[in-house]
Chains A and B, each alone.
Chain A
Amino acid sequence: MTHASESSTPATKTPESFWEIVGRWSMSVDHKKLGMMYVGAGLIFFLVGGLEAAFMRLQLAQANLKIIDPETFNQLFTMHGTTMVFLVGMPILLGFGNYLLPLMVGARDMAFPRLNAFGFWLFIFGGLLLYFSYIGSQGLYGAPSAPDVGWFAYAPLTDRTFSRGNSTDYWILGILVSGFGSMTTAINFIGTILCMRCPGMTLMRMPIMAWMMLVVAALVLVAIPVLTGAQIMLLLDRSFGAHFFDPETTGSAVLWQHLFWFFGHPEVYILILPAFGFVSEILPTFSRKVLFGYPLMVAATVSIGFISLGVWAHHMFVVGLGPVLNSFFGAMTFLISVPTGIKIFNWIATMWGGRLRFATPMLFATGFIAMFVIGGLTGIMLATVPLDWQLSDSYFVVGHFHYVLFGGTVFGIFGALFYWFPKATGKMLSERLGKWTFWLLFIGFTMTFMPMHVSGVLGMPRRIYTYEADRGWEIWNLITTLGVPVQMAGVAIFLWNVVKSLRSGENAGNNPWDAWTLEWSTTSPPPEWNFDRIPTVTSARPLWDSAHPEDPDAHYE
C-alpha cells in the first residue's frame, strides 16, 4: 500500500524547495502537522523556560550571591512560570491531543480544521508577544523589562502604581491571545470526540486518552474564559482607571485571587489529565494487559473534572478567608485525592500480573507513577489547612508542584514522545539514548526538587532572589542547583536522539510496540487522510480483536 509520505521522493517528483516546505507546513490545516508544530514549539519554549530556571538556580546556589540582580531574578521566575504553564504544558499536551484524537477515534481530521490552524497561530503569536517584552517593553526608567509580577500576578502589585511601564501589559496580552488558541482547540476536541467517532465506537469504547481529552476540553472551556475575564478587568484597571482590583479605591485585591485561582486550579488538572492519558495508553501496551477498570477510570476522570472546579481557594488558605471557607475548601481538596488515588491504583493493577517490557516509554510511565504519588502526597499535606499555613508560599510548595508538573506532566510528555515518535515520523528513537535520558532526568529531577521540601520545612519562602546565610538553607539549595546540569544533560541527549533518529533511525513500521488502539493500524507516518478505510470497531481494543479473533474484548464488555 503506497501513500504520499512527507519524506519520500519518488524518482518522478522533483524535491521540494525550502519555501515550499515552509508553505506546506505554515498553511496546513492537517491535525497531524499542527499537532507536531504545537509539540515542537512547546519544546522550544521548554528549553527557554529551562534556561530561565537554570539562571535562577545559579543565583540561589549559595546565600547572598550577586550573580543576578533582584529585578532580573523577579523577571526570570515570572517568565519561567508563565512559559512553562502557558507556552509549554498547554501547547504540548493539546498538541498531542490534536495529533492523536482523530487517529484514535478513527476520523480523518479534527472537527474544525481551519479553526485548529487559527488556534495554533494564536498560540504562537501570544508566545512571541510575551517574549517580546524582554526587548520591547518600557519598564521603569524606560529599560526593557519582561513581566516581573509572578506567574499569578497578584493585585495590587500589578496595578499601574506598583508595576510601572508595560511589562505587565505584555503578560496580560500574551496570555490572553494564546488563551483564545487553547479555547479553539478545546472546541475542536469536543466536536471531534462527540461527532466523529468511527462506526461502532461508543463513548465507552474510546481509548481512555480520548476521555481525558474530553474532560480537559470541558475544563478549558470553563476555566480559561474566567482568566480571560480577569485579565480584561486588569487591563481596564491599568489602562482606563477602572477599580476592579485597586484597594485604594474600594476595589478588592482578593477578588483577583478568586478569579485567577478559579482558572488556576482547573488549569493544573488540564496540565495533568493528558499526562494521565498518556500513561494509561503506555502502561497496557508494555504490560501486555488491558487497562484495569476502564469504567471506573472514566468515572474518576469526570469526577476530577467536576471537583476541580470547587477547590480553588486552597491556593488562598493564608489570605484569611475565615474558618468556614477554609474548612470547606480543605475538605473539597481532600476529596479530590480520592479519584486521583483510584487512577493510581488502577495503573498499578494494570501492571500487576503483566509481562513488563521496560522500553523507554514504559520507564517514563513508571517514573511518572512513582513521582506523582510523591507529589500527590505532598499535596495532601498542603491540603491540611493549618499545615498549609506554615508550608504555603515556601519552597515546600515549589517542590510539590514540580513533583506533579515535572515528575508528572513532563515525564508523561517524554513517555508520549518516545511512544508516538515512531508513529509520527516512521523512525524509532534510540533505546540506549532513551534510557540515558530517563535516568539523567530522574536523578537530576530528584536532586533538584526533593531538597526543596526540606528547605521549605526549614522556613525558606518562595520567590526570593537571595537568602540569609545562617538559616541552614544553603546545603539544600546547593544540591538543588547541582541537579540542574544533570537534567540539562538528559534533555540534550534527548534532542540528540531526535536529530539522530530522524536522520538514520530504524524504520518503525505500523505498530512497533504491538499496541491495540486505532492509530497503530495505519502507516507510520499516517497518510494525510489517516485511514485508507474508516474502520468499524467492536471494542476498546480493535487491534487486539483482530489479532485474537477467537477471544475478542467484545465478549467481556
Chain B
Amino acid sequence: MGREYSRTERTVAEARPRKNHLHRYTSSHAPNVIPTSGARESSSTVSSVRRLRCASQLQRYTLLGVLFFGAITSIGVSTAAAEVPQSQASRSLEVCDPSVIPISGSGVTSILESNSAPAREVRSLGYLVVAICAGIFVVVQTFLVLAIVRGVRASRVANASAGSGAEPVQVFGSLPIEVAWTVIPFIIVFVLTMVTIRTIRDIDLTKPPEGALTVTTIGHQWWWEFRYTAADGSTVITANEMHIPAGRPIWVELKSADVIHSFWVPRLAGKLDVIPAKTNALWIEADVPGIYLGQCAEYCGTQHAHMLLRVYAEEPAQFDAWLAAQAAPAVEDATVTVGRDTFTAFSCFNCHAIAGTSEGLFGPNLTHLASRDTIGSGSIPLTRSNLVQWILDPNTLKPGCNMPSLKLEPAQVESIVDYLMTLK
C-alpha cells in the first residue's frame, strides 16, 4: 500500500535489539560517540567531560555564528533603513534644493528611498515580499535549528545508554505532511504572483501617461545623451545631465547608439535596459525637486563604471527656463574667438556639436557645456582645471574612454577651455 507507516509499528520492531554498527567510528571523528570504555555519563568524569566539552563546543560555535550573522544583518538593515545626514563630500555641487534630496551619503541611491510614484510602488511590493520571505526564513531556520539541537541531544542520550545500539525510528514519509508542505507553498506563491502581476500592470506601461513630457535618452559608450522637444518644436540635444519638471510624469524613451546599457535612477524608478535597434520607455515622476543620482547598470565596456546619471528635477517654471536656454543658440563671445578657431581647426568639431559651429554626433553636445556641473558623464566636476586636464588627455581621468588625446599644446588647450567655459 502506501509508504507511510506509523511509529507504533516500528517501536514494536524496535524492541528487538539491533547491533550498533558504529564500531569503526573512533572518537576522533565523532565527538558524540561514546569511547570504547562504555562508561555512562554520570559515572565517568573523563568521558562526560569530553562529551560536555564537545557538545558545548558545538553550542559555542553555533552561538558565535548566529550572533555574528545577526549582528551583520541588523547593522545592515538598520543602516540601510536609517536616514543618513548629508556629509561633506569633496565633490559637493550646486543643486536646486539640497536640503530636500541628499546627493551624498548612504541613501542617495537607495531603492528604499523613493521619490517617485513607480519607485514607491516597487518599494511597497518589496516590503511585502521581504516580510513573507522573512516569515518563511524564521520558520524554516527554526525547524532546522530545533532538528539539530534535538538530534544532537538524542545522539548523546543514545551513546550514554551504551550497548543498546538502536537506530532511531526510521520514518519513510508521511502523506499528510508532504501534502501540506506542497499546498501551503503553492498558496504563498499564488498570492505573490497575483500581487506581482497587479504591480506590473501599474508600472509596466506600454504608452505614456496623461500629460507626460517625453525625453529621449540615448546611451553611448560611456555617456548619456538627452533630447527634448523645445516649445517651438525644435530638438534640443544635451548630454549627461537630465533636467525634468518635478511633479509631472516623464516618459523616458530609451535608445542606444552602440551596445546595451541600462538606465537606473533608484529613487525614481526601477531600471530599464537601453538596447540598440529597440526603443524602450520608462515612466518616472519626481515628487519634489532635487538631484537624483544613478548610473548605467548593464556592463557596456571599459568605462561602464563611470557612466553616471544625474537627473535634475526642477519646479516647472525653472524647467521651462532651462529648456528655453538650452534651445537658444550658442553664446557668441568675441573675447574667445581664438579658442573657437582652435576648436574648429582641430578635429574636435568632428565629434562634438556646438550649435552654429560644428555638428559632430559621436561625442556629447557641447552647446551649453558651461551650464552643467560635471563632465565625463557625471564622474568629474566641471572646473577649469579639470577641463584642461580632460582635453590634454582624457585617459588620465577616465582611462579607456573613446576620446583620444589630440596632443595639443597647453596654450591651445587653455584657449579652447576659455571658449568652452563661455558656453552657458
Contacts and interface: CB of A to CB of B under 8 A. Distances in A.
Interface string B280-310: 1100000000000111111111111100100
A157 interface: yes
B272 A463 contact: no
Contacts of A254: 275, 278
A70 B171 contact: no
Contacts of A173: none
A250 B277 CA distance: 8
Contacts of A471: 104-106, 108-109, 293
A360 to B, nearest CB: 9
Interface string B234-265: 00000000000000000000100011101010
Contact of A296 (B16, B155, B173, B201): B173
B167 interface: yes
Interface string A239-252: 00000000110101
A295 interface: yes
B272 A294 contact: no
Contact of B259 (A162, A326, A345, A479): A162
A331 interface: yes
A522 interface: no
Chain A contact surface mostly: helix
B34 to A, nearest CB: 12
Interface in A329-361: 330-331, 334-335, 337-338, 341-342, 344-345, 348-349, 351-359
A542 to B, nearest CB: 14
A453 B76 contact: yes
A74 B24 contact: no
B29 interface: yes
A314 B278 CA distance: 19
A253 B300 CA distance: 13
B13, B182, B308 — which one has the most chain A CB atoms within 10 A of its CB?
A: B182
A6 interface: no
A165 B30 CA distance: 56
B328 interface: no
Contacts of B399: 69-70
Contacts of A469: 89-90
B266 A390 contact: yes
Contact of A386 (B146, B203, B294, B299): B203
Contacts of A296: 173, 178, 182
Interface string B140-160: 110110111011101100100
A287 interface: yes
Nearest to B183: A338
A289 interface: yes
A191 interface: no
A377 B136 CA distance: 8
A113 interface: no
Contact of B84 (A355, A472, A506): A472
Contacts of A319: 273, 275, 280
Given A154-B259, A253-B278, A432-B28, 9 more contacts: A70-B400, A162-B301, A353-B154, A356-B152, A366-B148, A390-B126, A390-B271, A393-B271, A472-B107
A-B pairs, top 5 by smallest CB distance, nearest first, are A389-B270, A459-B109, A472-B106, A356-B151, A470-B104
Interface of B: 3, 5, 13, 16, 18-19, 21-22, 24-26, 28-33, 58, 61, 65, 68-69, 72-73, 76, 79-80, 84, 87, 89-91, 103-112, 119, 121-122, 125-126, 129-130, 132-133, 136-137, 140-141, 143-144, 146-148, 150-152, 154-155, 158, 167-174, 177-178, 181-182, 185-186, 189, 192-193, 196-197, 199-201, 203-204, 206, 221, 254, 258-260, 262, 264, 266, 269-273, 275-278, 280-281, 293-305, 308, 379, 399-400
